[in-house]
Amino acid sequence: MSGSAAALMLSRMRTEPADHGAPVRAAASDQTPGRPGRAAFSWWWAGMTACLAIATVLRVWHHAADTGTGNAYYTATALSMSGDWTSFLSGSLDTGHFITMDKPAPALWPSAILIGIFGVHWATVFLPTALAGVASVLMLGLAVREAGGDSPAARAAALPAALGLALSPVNVAIERDNNPDALLLLTMLTGAWLLLRALRRDRVRPLLGAAAVIGLGFDVKYLEAFVVVPAMALTWLLFAAGPVRRRLVRLAAAGAALAAVSAVWPLVFRLLPDRPWVGNSTDGTVGNRIGQILSQHLSEPDTQVKGPGAVIIHAFQTGQAFHAGEAGPGRLLSGVLADQISWWLPLALVGAVTMAYDLRRRGDGSPAGLVLWTGWAVCCWAVFSFMQGVLHPYYTSLMAPALAALAAGGLVTAWRAWRRGRAFGAVALIAQIAVAGGWSAWVLHDTTAHRPGWLLPVVLAAAALALLSVPLSRPLTWAGPALAALTAVAVLAAPAVWSAKTTEQRLLGINPLANQGGRYGLAVVPPQIGNAIIGVISGSQRVDPALLGFLQANRGSARWLVAVPSGLQSAPMAIAAGGAPIMAMGGFDGSNPTPTLPQFRRLVAKGEIRFILTAPPGRGFTGFGSGPSIAVSMWALKACRMVRPTATGLLLLDCQGAGSR
Which residues is 277 bridged to in the sheet?
99
Predicted pLDDT at 540:
56
In three-state secondary structure terms, 37 is coil
Predicted pLDDT at 419:
87
- Assign residue 279 a region (left: φ > 0; alpha: ψ between -120 and 50; beta: otherwise): beta
Predicted pLDDT at 629:
83
Specify the amino acid at residue 582: I
User: Band of the pLDDT at 146, cuts 50, 70, 90?
Assistant: very high
Q: What phi, psi does 654 have (nearest 5°)? A: -105, 115
Q: pLDDT (tens digit, 9 = 90+) per residue, 242-285?
A: 999 999 999 999 999 999 999 999 999 999 999 999 999 999 99
Share of the chain above pLDDT 90, in %: 71
Q: pLDDT (tens digit, 9 = 90+) per residue, 492-510?
A: 999 999 999 999 988 888 8
Predicted pLDDT at 356:
95
Q: pLDDT (tens digit, 9 = 90+) per residue, 102-115?
A: 999 999 999 999 99
Strand order in the sheet with 651-654: 583-584, 563-564, 611-614, 651-654, 641-645
Predicted pLDDT at 316:
80
Q: pLDDT (tens digit, 9 = 90+) per residue, 154-186?
A: 999 999 999 999 999 999 999 999 999 999 999
For the segment 66-70, the average pLDDT, to the nearest whole number, is: 74
Q: pLDDT (tens digit, 9 = 90+) per residue, 309-333?
A: 677 777 887 888 888 999 999 999 9
Q: How far apart are CA 218 and CA 188, in angstroms?
A: 10
User: Band of the pLDDT at 653, cuts 50, 70, 90?
Assistant: very high
Q: pLDDT (tens digit, 9 = 90+) per residue, 193-238?
A: 999 999 999 999 999 999 999 999 999 999 999 999 999 999 999 9
381, 344 contact by CB (below 8 A): no
Q: Where are the alpha helices (DSSP H) in 506-544?
A: 527-537
User: Band of the pLDDT at 371, cuts 50, 70, 90?
Assistant: very high
Q: pLDDT (tens digit, 9 = 90+) per residue, 275-293?
A: 999 999 999 999 999 999 9
Q: How far apart are CA 239 and CA 242, in angstroms?
A: 9
Q: Where are the alpha helices (DSSP H) in 240-307?
A: 244-262, 264-271, 286-293
pTM as predicted: 0.91
147, 154 contact by CB (below 8 A): yes
Q: What is the DSSP letter of 636?
A: H
User: Band of the pLDDT at 39, cuts 50, 70, 90?
Assistant: low
Predicted pLDDT at 421:
85
Predicted pLDDT at 528:
72
309-329 burial: b if 16+ Cβ within 10 Å, else e: eeebebbbbbbbbbbbbebee
Q: How far apart are CA 449 and CA 492, in angstroms?
A: 18
Q: Are strands 651-654 and 611-614 parallel, antiparallel or unpaired?
A: antiparallel
Half-sphere exposure of 293 (CA within 13 A, CB side): 18
Tell me the C-alpha to C-alpha distance, in Å, between residue 365 and each of 195, 197, 237: 17, 15, 17
Predicted pLDDT at 65:
63
Q: Where are the alpha helices (DSSP H) in 342-399?
A: 345-362, 368-386
Which is nearest to 504 in space by CA: 176, 27, 84, 30?
Answer: 176
- Assign residue 37 a region (left: φ > 0; alpha: ψ between -120 and 50; beta: otherwise): beta
Q: How far apart are CA 295 and CA 292, in angstroms?
A: 5
Q: pLDDT (tens digit, 9 = 90+) per residue, 400-425?
A: 999 999 999 999 999 999 988 889 99
Q: Are strands 583-584 and 563-564 parallel, antiparallel or unpaired?
A: parallel
Predicted pLDDT at 77:
98
- Whether the per-residue pLDDT at 22 is higher than 70: the answer is no
- Whether the per-residue pLDDT at 67 is higher than 70: the answer is no
Q: How far apart are CA 183 and CA 108, in angstroms?
A: 9
